[in-house]
Structure 1
Amino acid sequence: MLSGALSWPFLRLYLLVLLYFSANSILNVIIPLQSGTLGASNTTIGIIMGAYLFTTMFFRPWAGQIIQKHGPIKVLRIILMINGVALILYTFTGLGGYLAARMLQGVSTAFFSMALQIGIIDALPEKDRSQGISLYSLFSYIPGIIGPMLALGIWQTDDMSYFTFVMIAIAASTILFGYSAKMDNDQSAANHIKQRENIFKSFNQLVKNPFLFKCSVLMLVASIIFGAVTTFIPLYAVQLEDGNAGIYLMIMAATVVFARFTLRKKIPSDGKWHSTFMMGTMFLLAIGTQCVSFSITGGVAFFYLGAIFIGIAQAIIYPTLTTYLTFVLPQTNRNVLIGLFIAMADLGVSLGGVIMGPVADLFSYSSMYMVCSVLGAAMVLFAHDRRNHFIR
């Protein structure tokens, strides 16, 4: 019988995560391609794509307080309705509508992800935390295996009515599944009640707390790279001979899913900083983006090899850093500080489109991914720390 992070109550939450994030695997391909057809520059496309997680980051500080006040189920049902409106908005608007829809998605995701991730962290024993976080992330990536190819199939038909049907179907099924979900009151609510401190007072901890600072910088830079990959791969692939964005994103998502599941017990869950482990992970990220950059001259094999390296790094970085923080951050405001850390991940993905778009406009996609590789290499050095931190 399944137990712990794989028990039925948690599996039900993971399935809701899968449904919720399934639209993004399609939108991450359709929006850049459709925006390019409408005449948008890389800078504009980056802003549209980045608006999603930038909005998520902005609203995340309020998520825990509102969930505490009104309860997770009531909030969940409202945000799933907002998300449904956003998905339908994509089907009949242009660039301005895409920006508005991305922002609506960002608002709903801020509340959705905070409720589920904090709930998982608080409900599981320490030895299962990394598995729970890894499985949450895994189920958010499973749609990425099929979604990109489905998106390209829709795009190549030149009939966007299929896109409309898929978005409406995802919106409806997510709302129905979410309305039937149940969450027992857990210690998460109790923890939030104890945390009366104004959340904005905790922002200085991003710099003052050495553990949070190190993890946040690593997550921010890694997320900038992930954001640049997600946003511009559909456009970069067109320039490569035999390049296919759908295959690339499918390989990367499949790698994330496979690595998250097979390595979930290897992710450190002891509260210690494992320098070699993190340095190796950031090195994989740097090599992966360099492969993507080099593929314009080296060939499509480097393109897809980069997807594997980046996928492995993406599978490891977030759950490793999040699990470490659950041990070393002070219990009194742990959830608030983890929320700030997650906000740095959101900001990074957003900046990946906003910052790297102008770089691609000024130089090329290949040069832009080379810049990402340099950033990843810098984080290899930053991840080094001789001390094995552990605080209870």
Structure 2
Amino acid sequence: MGGALSWPFLRLYFLVLLYFSANSIINVIIPLQGEALGASNTAIGIIMGAYLFTTMFFRPWAGRIIQKQGPIKVLRIILLVNGFALLLYTFTGLGGYLAARMLQGVSTAFFSMALQIGIIDALPEKVRSQGISLYSLFSYIPGIIGPLLAIGIWQAGMDYFSIVMIAIALFTGVVGYSAKIDKGESRAENSAGEAEISTLKSFKELFKNPFLFKCSVLMLTASIVFGAITTFIPLYAMQVESGNAGVYLMLQAGTVVYARFALRKRIPSDGRWHSAFMVGTMLILASAALCVSLASTGGAVFFYTGAILMGAAQAIIYPTLTTYLSFVLPKLSRNMLLGLFIAMADLGVSLGGVMMGPLADLFSYSFMYMICALISLAATFFAYERRKIAIE
């Protein structure tokens, strides 16, 4: 096998799988443990949202530091930070969970930027979307087994949670220290130009660049829905007849993995804005949120249908928008602006917990997910109307 499935890339994908395996467990344990300790949905949302909010904050700087220090040196330091964060979960309470989520956020900002930029720079344009899709695919594979494992750990006792976190930290560190990342030619050519682009200017580009603005709005909206699902499904499932959070998250992640692999060659990789494709994808997202909302009265059929639709939307939205931007953004500022776009995805997931938690406290989980369906529908119209600025 060659290209995006060659051995050097497979090693990187395996590291991605290990790195994100802890989150598939933590995303279930923290809401359950938080409720057991008497925390409100708002507090749980803040703790869960702190992870990607911190990631978002550090992403614009991650590309520069990696460029100056080299990906391997940064990667090894970040794996130590991530290992310490995982250890914090083993002996602290809610306050320690918040600190651990923030440390994880810092490490993820650098880890994901290093690997995604490396993939984009190293692969030919015609298979670039495959590499991005496979990176995302391997980050979701732990979500197939992780949620069910988390439920088992929760029922067996938190001592097992500590053992699993320590094992993941050690195994990820060992594999990560043996990884190699080559600095792509395009990256070397552009490094001088990128060094002159200020972070402040990159934030202005979010509004000045129509391509970046369009993709960021769509990604932010979708990520709010994804964040609300990740944060509150473990608690909402208890209100759904025959609902099981582990099964829901397993179905969602399994759909993401299957769709990302099956559709990796169908994700547009030509630098054009495919309006009908994106409108259809956002409609899938809106339908998924609607099904989850109706599950409180409709039962498990709506609940698990929503999981499959949500997974399909997740599988398509991120790699499609990321690949499109990799073509249309200016070369000299591409990596910085891609970092800003990914930061918008992080912000959305964070807001999904922080903003939707109070709604769940004031009204209900079902009402909150109905709001998610409505904002997804609004984004559908935005995607259709903005198709006119596509590259010709």
Say whether the fold is shared (TM-score over 0.5).
yes
CA distance in 2, matches of 1:69, 1:332: 16
Report whether the alignment pairs 1:194 with 2:193: yes
**Offset, 1:199:** 2.0
The match for 1:168 is 166
Give the equivalent residue in structure 1 for 2:349.
349
Distance 1:76 1:239 in 2: 42
Work out whether residues 58 and 109 of structure 2, in 8 Å CA contact, stay in contact via their aligned partners in 1.
yes
Deviates more, 1:191-200 or 1:245-254: 191-200
8 Å Cα contact 1:224-1:351 kept in structure 2:
yes
Aligned-partner Cα distance in 2 for 1:8–1:191: 26
Aligned residue in 2 for 1:326: 326
Partner of 1:337: 337
Task: Report the AA paired with residue 321 of structure 1.
Answer: L
1:149-192 per-position Cα deviation (integer Å, ceiling 9, x unaligned): 000001111x2111111000000000000011112232324423
The one-letter amino acid paired with 2:78 is: I
Amino acid at match of 1:36: E
Query: Which one-letter code corresponds to 1:276 in the other structure?
Result: A
> Would you say the 8 A contact 1:67–1:115 is kept in 2?
yes
Q: Is 1:183 aligned with 2:181? A: yes
Counterpart in the other structure of 1:68: 67
Deviation string, structure 1 residues 189-233 (Cα, Å, up to 9, x no partner) = 442332122122111111111111000000000000000000000
Q: Which runs of 4+ in 1 moved over 4 A?
A: none
Q: Distance in 2 between matches of 1:62 and 1:112?
A: 12
Q: How far apart are 1:283 and its partner, in Å?
A: 0.2
Alpha-carbon contact 2:210-2:389 (below 8 Å) kept: no
Contact map agreement 1:27 1:151 (CA 8 A) in 2? yes
- The one-letter amino acid of 1:103's match is M
Residue 269 of structure 2 is matched in structure 1 by: 269
Q: Which amino acid aligns with 1:277?
A: F
- SS at the partner of 1:383? helix
Summarize deviations over 1:127-158 as a string: whole Å, max 9, x none. 0110000000000000000000000001111x
Shift of 1:332: 1.5
Partner of residue 249, structure 1: 249
User: Partners in 2 of 1:4 and 1:349 — Cα distance?
Assistant: 31
Secondary structure of the structure 2 residue equivalent to 1:265: coil
1:378 aligned onto 2:378:
yes
Instruction: Describe the SS at the equivalent of 1:203.
Output: helix
The letter of the residue matching 1:235 is L
Partner in structure 2 of residue 129 of structure 1: 128
How many percent identity over aligned positions? 74
Distance change (3 Å), C-alpha of 1:58 and 1:386: closer
| Structure 2 unaligned spans of 5+ | none
CA contact (8 A) 2:53 2:346 kept: yes
Alignment-mate amino acid for residue 199 of structure 2: I
Cα distance in 1 for partners of 2:388, 2:267 equals 18
Structure 2 contact 225–372 (Cα < 8 Å) conserved = yes
In the other structure, the counterpart of 2:7 is 8
**Within 2, Cα distance between the matches of 1:266 and 1:323?**
12
Letter in 1 for 2:91: F
User: What CA distance in whole angstroms lies between the structure 2 residues aligned with 1:8 and 1:330?
Assistant: 30
Aligned equivalents of 1:67, 1:212: Cα separation in 2:
22
Amino acid at match of 2:100: A
**Number of matched pairs:** 389
Number of the residue aligned with 1:52: 51
Kindly report which structure 2 residues correspond to 1:36-47, keeping only aligned pairs within 5 A, or say none: 36-47=35-46
Q: 1:161 to 1:281 in 2, by over 3 A?
A: same
Q: Residue 94 of structure 1 aligns with which residue?
A: 93
> Over residues 18-77 of structure 1, what are the superposed CA-to-partner deviations in whole Å (9 max), with x where a residue is unaligned?
000000000000010001111100000000000000000001111111111211111100
C-alpha distance 4-93 of structure 1, shift in aligned 2 (>3 A): same
> Is the 8 Å Cα contact of residues 118 and 181 (structure 2) preserved in structure 1?
no
Unpaired stretches in structure 1, ≥5 consecutive residues: none
Measured after TM superposition, the shift of residue 386 of structure 1 is 4.5
Q: Distance in 2 between matches of 1:106 and 1:186?
A: 26
Match for 1:10: what amino acid? Answer: F
User: 8 Å contact 1:53–1:346 — kept in the other structure?
Assistant: yes
* CA RMSD across the alignment: 0.9
Deviations 1:240-276 (A, max 9, x none): 1211000000000000000000011111011111111
3-state SS of the aligned residue for 1:136? helix
Tell me what 1:152 maps to. Answer: 151
Residues 81 and 107 in structure 2, CA contact (< 8 A), matched pair in contact too: yes
Contact 2:118 2:183 in 1 (8 A): no
Instruction: Give the TM-score, by structure 2 length.
Output: 0.98
**How many Å apart are 1:388 and its aligned residue?**
6.4
Provide the residue aligned with 2:391 in structure 1. Answer: 390
Does residue 110 of the first structure (1) align with residue 109 of the second (2)? yes
**Alpha-carbon contact 1:274-1:388 (below 8 Å) kept:** no
Contact 1:327 1:390 in 2 (8 A): no
2:310 maps to amino acid: I
Distance 1:329 1:389 in 2: 12
The whole-number CA distance in structure 1 between the counterparts of 2:79 and 2:33 is: 25
Map of 1:358 onto structure 2:
358
Secondary structure at 1:175's aligned position in 2?
helix
State whether residues 272 and 388 of structure 1, in contact with CA within 8 Å, keep that contact through their aligned partners in structure 2: no
Contact 2:4 2:123 in 1 (8 A): yes
| 1:139 is aligned to 2:174 | no
